């Protein structure tokens, strides 16, 4: 130990530091010993040697009882009640900005008085947040059964305030209204003499104790994927709300998400899918791939049986069916959207024409059809008006017999297309905005579409689940 280290230690106590802050300001981060910090805390509790009975000039009372134990107990209670199933946790602190100034001021004093240190550079010391975590970790771990891990997906944030925080920061007019992060950077670049001239040699005795405002938490998002079928022709994929007025009672997104929310206890979610079908279009075949980002979920561990239970809950609704539900990573989601325009989708369109059946042989001779589609009139209100080149890879037409008398003929068109092709507009031409169209190919201006089904989306994602 340096010959004057004990003298500095005693001086810091006299100036108003608690034993913990005195110890951490004389300890390098690389050589911190949690047992020394705990022992120092015991000295504060048993025989305080601070300036009168004021809060510590460094931590504003954060390490002093009863404040310290109350905060630990609050965090323990919060973790138990929050019901997260994470095995680990990390802790963050939102501290008043003046704690950074106070720590910097004390480190300058220590640097000036330590014999073997450069008085022009602040001495490195264990910061408030790190010291508190080290001292509180064991109690929280024992009480909750969760491990402390700086890489944990579950972050617990303790927030504090100090009534004179702004006034202290205003003493340094060059750093007013800046964040803690910016403040740290500025202090490392600021001339120490300038700092002392504006802030003073040492922090003032606090007029009040730091205030603990509460605890909040955030778990990293979890992602769930699957495929859905939609059997209804009166159901939108996402909530249909116009001018803050709901137009349909429900949606595919809501039917799928509500049971998942119930099982995972999430704050909110984000729904995404490989394309979307219109309200009056059914999604058949293997279904459409979709994913849900679960925001701040409490439950994040899903067994095979849990996913099947969630599927069964969703499938109680007769309009939508979900299968292959599973956990995926954020990186896996890239496959959902990658190469969107190059995916192949299969459709079946039920069409009609007035009078006799058109010559479908004209249609069936095509091996592929290249289209130019201007943005359909029906979606111009929400999409840019532009021309899109699309390809129909295969096309086949067949007559459909219907019961009863009709002055129309009916036929099915089964086609595979590049993703993003507007099928309805390909049938009727959209007033010439799609060329060619079934009307121009079959040379019949009365052709139109009655119903459309998506038969398949050629994307092998997510992986199939073996039931």
- DSSP assignment of 215-272, as one string? EEEEEPPEEEEEEEEE--SS-BSS--EETTEE-SS-BHHHHHHHHHHHHHT-SEEEEE
In order of 58, 192, 193, the CA distances from 112 in angstroms are 18, 11, 12
Counting every residue written for the chain, the total comes to 467
The DSSP 8-state label assigned to residue 421 in this structure reads -
**CB hemisphere CA count around 263 (13 angstroms):** 21
Helices 67-82 and 128-144: angle between axes, nearest 10 degrees: 50
Using DSSP bridges, classify how beta strands 147-148 and 88-94 pair: parallel, antiparallel or unpaired: parallel
What sign has the CA pseudo-torsion 197, 202, 207, 209?
positive
| Burial status of residue 167 (CB atoms within 10 A of its CB: 0-12, 13-18, 19 or more) | exposed
Distance CA 162, CA 18 (A): 18
Q: How far apart are CA 57 and CA 198, in angstroms?
A: 17
Phi first, then psi, for residue 413 (nearest 5°) are: -120, 120
Question: Burial level of 207, CB count in 10 A (0-12/13-18/19+)?
Answer: exposed
Continuous segment of H or E residues that includes residue 111: helix 98-113
C-alpha angle 13-15-16 in degrees, rounded to nearest 5: 65
Residues acting as catalytic residues: 278
How, if at all, do strands 344-354 and 268-273 pair? unpaired
């Amino acid at each position: 130990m340096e010959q004057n280290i004990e003298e500095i230690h005693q001086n810091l106590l006299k100036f108003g530091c608690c034993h913990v802050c005195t110890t951490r300001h004389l300890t390098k981060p690389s050589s911190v010993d949690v047992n020394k910090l705990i022992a120092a805390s015991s000295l504060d509790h048993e025989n305080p040697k601070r300036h009168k009975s004021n809060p510590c000039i460094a931590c504003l009372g954060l390490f002093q009882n009863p404040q310290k134990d109350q905060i630990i107990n609050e965090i323990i209670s919060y973790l138990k009640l929050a019901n997260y199933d994470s095995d680990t946790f990390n802790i963050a602190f939102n501290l008043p900005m003046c704690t950074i100034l106070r720590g910097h001021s004390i480190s300058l004093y220590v640097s000036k008085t330590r014999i073997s240190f450069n008085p022009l550079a602040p001495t490195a010391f264990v910061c408030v947040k790190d010291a508190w975590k080290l001292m509180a970790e064991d109690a929280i771990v024992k009480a909750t059964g969760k491990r402390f891990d700086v890489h944990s997906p579950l972050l617990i944030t303790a927030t504090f305030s100090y009534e004179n925080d702004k006034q202290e920061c205003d003493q340094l007019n060059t750093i007013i209204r800046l964040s803690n992060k910016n403040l740290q950077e500025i202090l490392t670049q600021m001339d120490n003499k300038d700092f002392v001239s504006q802030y003073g040699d040492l922090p003032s005795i606090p007029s009040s104790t730091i205030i603990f405002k509460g605890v909040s938490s955030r778990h990293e998002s979890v992602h769930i994927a699957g495929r859905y079928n939609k059997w209804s022709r009166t159901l939108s994929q996402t909530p249909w709300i116009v001018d803050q007025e709901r137009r349909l009672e429900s949606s595919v997104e809501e039917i799928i998400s509500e049971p998942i929310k119930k099982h995972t206890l999430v704050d909110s979610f984000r729904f995404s899918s490989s394309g979307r079908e219109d309200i009056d279009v059914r999604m058949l075949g293997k279904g459409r791939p979709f994913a849900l980002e679960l925001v701040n979920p409490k439950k994040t561990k899903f067994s095979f049986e849990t996913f099947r239970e969630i599927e069964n809950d969703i499938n109680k609704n007769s309009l939508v069916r979900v299968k292959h539900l599973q956990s995926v990573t954020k990186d896996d989601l890239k496959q959902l959207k990658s190469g969107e325009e190059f995916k192949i989708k299969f459709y079946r369109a039920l069409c009609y024409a007035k009078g006799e059946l058109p010559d479908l042989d004209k249609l069936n001779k095509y091996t592929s059809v290249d289209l130019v589609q201007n943005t359909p009139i029906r979606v111009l209100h929400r999409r840019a008006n532009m021309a899109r080149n699309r390809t129909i890879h295969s096309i086949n037409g067949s007559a459909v017999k219907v019961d009863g008398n009709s002055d129309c003929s009916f036929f099915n068109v089964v086609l595979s297309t590049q993703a993003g092709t507007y099928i309805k507009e390909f049938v009727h031409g959209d007033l010439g905005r799609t060329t060619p169209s079934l009307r121009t190919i079959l040379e019949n201006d009365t052709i139109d579409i009655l119903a459309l089904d998506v038969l398949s989306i050629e994307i092998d994602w997510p992986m199939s689940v073996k039931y």
